[in-house]
Amino acid sequence: MQHTLKEVFSAQEIQERVKNLGKEISQIYKDEPLVLICVLKGAFLFFSDLVRAIDCPHEIDFVRLASYGSSDTSSHSIAFTKDIEINVEDKHVLIVEDIVDTGLTMEFLLKQLSVRKAKSVKIATLLSKKARREKAIPIDFVGFYIQDGFLVGYGLDYAEKYRYLPNICEVEL
Ligand code: IMP
C-alpha cells in the first residue's frame, strides 16, 4: 500500500542544511580526535552526507538499537543489536541520529557511551520533535525542528518503506 506523502523539506534544503552543520561541527572539533557514530538504520543518508561535509579528520562507526515494549517510559527498554567497534577512550564522540522524538533512545546511548571514557559525547540530529520529548537530553547540533507528525524519506522509514527518498515528507496515516 502506498501512502499519501506531503513534502516537508526538499532535497535541496536538506543538502544546504547538512553542509552548514558540517561546517559548524568542523569548527568545534578542529584537529581533536573525533569519532562519528551513525545510529542505524535511519541516520544512514544523513551520516553519509554529513561526514563528507566535515573537513576535520575523524573515524566512523555504527550502532543499531532495538526498542522493546510500549513507548511508555516505565515499560520501554532499549538494547544494542550492534555495538561500536572502535575504542572511543580519550576521543570526542559525536552521535549522529535521524530524529530525536521522546529522547529515550538518545538517553540510553549517552549513558552507554559515557562509561567508555570518551573525552566528550555530543549529539547531532537531523530532526528534533521537541513537543514529544520525555527526556531532557542535550542536543548539540540540530538540522531542523519539527512539530508532531510522522516523517519519512532521507533515511527515515514507515515500516521499512520510503528510506530511499531524497526529500523528507509527512505520511498521512
Ligand atoms: P525516541 O527514542 O522516541 O527519541 O525515538 C527515536 C527513534 O524513533 C528515531 O531514531 C526513529 O527511528 C524513530 N522515529 C521517531 N519519530 C519518527 C518519525 O517521524 N519518522 C520515522 N521514525 C521516527
Each residue's pLDDT expressed in tens, for the chain with a length of 173 residues: 789 999 999 999 999 999 999 999 999 999 999 999 999 999 999 999 999 999 999 999 999 999 887 655 555 799 999 999 999 999 999 999 999 999 999 999 999 998 999 999 999 999 999 998 999 999 999 999 999 899 999 999 999 999 999 999 999 98
Please give the model's pTM, rounded to 2 decimal places.
0.96
Our answer on whether the CB atom of 151 is closer than 6 Å to any ligand 1 atom is yes
Helix, strand counts (H, E) of the chain: 3, 9
**31 annotated active-site:** no
**44 close to ligand 1 (CB < 6 Angstrom):** no
Determine whether the shortest distance from the Cβ of 155 to ligand 1 is under 6 A. no
103: Cβ contacts below 8 Å, ≥ 6 apart: 133, 134, 135, 136, 137
Pocket test for ligand 1, best of 101, 102, 156 (most atoms within 8 A of CB): 101
Q: How far is CA 142 from CA 17, 22, 161, in A?
A: 10, 11, 24
